Amino acid sequence: MPLNPDSPLARLMTAPVRPGRVVWVGLRVSRRAPLQVVESAIALAGFGLDGDHYSRKDGNRQVTLIEAESLRAIASHLGLDDVSPGDLRRNIVTSGINLNALKDRRFHIGDAVLEASGECHPCSRMEETFGVGGYNAVRGFGGITARVIEGGTIALASAIVPC
């Protein structure tokens, strides 16, 4: 049942979101290859990040984002001091913004406009990467997937602001 747009909960869910910023960018050049850490990436409308193996696909998982704050939680769940963004295979690490508040919303990130398309659930590779319990350590903390609506450059320190 859809939420009544005039309800107090609907107003809260569409209230302004605190802006954030990009703190890490990585490209998955091929399926199982290590991520290539870059200072900026070009978002291609309808495809994803140029040079990322997902950029050939028109779908909901064109770009993946995760919060730096979630990386600390995942590390804690694993009993580690930290985890590398590349280990989680996400394209962009953010700071200062609750990505879940962007659900089904468009947002500016650098010169591009993305639209949050869903949660980015962990895959079985988390067990390979972190060992037993790796998958469950990431559950609920995997970030979001997004589609590229308008292309542009996404660089370190780029602002992330809802449209």
pLDDT in tens, 134-152: 999 999 999 999 999 999 9
What DSSP designation does 71 have?
Answer: H
Q: What CATH number corresponds to the domain at position 92?
A: 2.40.33.20
Q: Which of 74, 66, 51 lies closest to 133 in space, CA to CA?
A: 74
CA 42-92-146 angle, 5° bins: 75
pLDDT in tens, 8-22: 887 777 777 889 999
Q: Does residue 10 lie in a domain region?
A: no
Q: Does residue 21 lie in a domain region?
A: no
Q: Does residue 13 lie in a domain region?
A: no
Over pLDDT 90: what percentage of the chain? Answer: 77
User: How confident is residue 1, by pLDDT bands cut at 50, 70 and 90?
Assistant: low
The model's pTM:
0.91
Instruction: Look at the chain and report how many structural domains it folds into.
Output: 1
Q: Is residue 133 pLDDT above 80, yes or no? A: yes
Q: Is residue 130 pLDDT above 90, yes or no? A: yes
Q: Does residue 17 lie in a domain region?
A: no
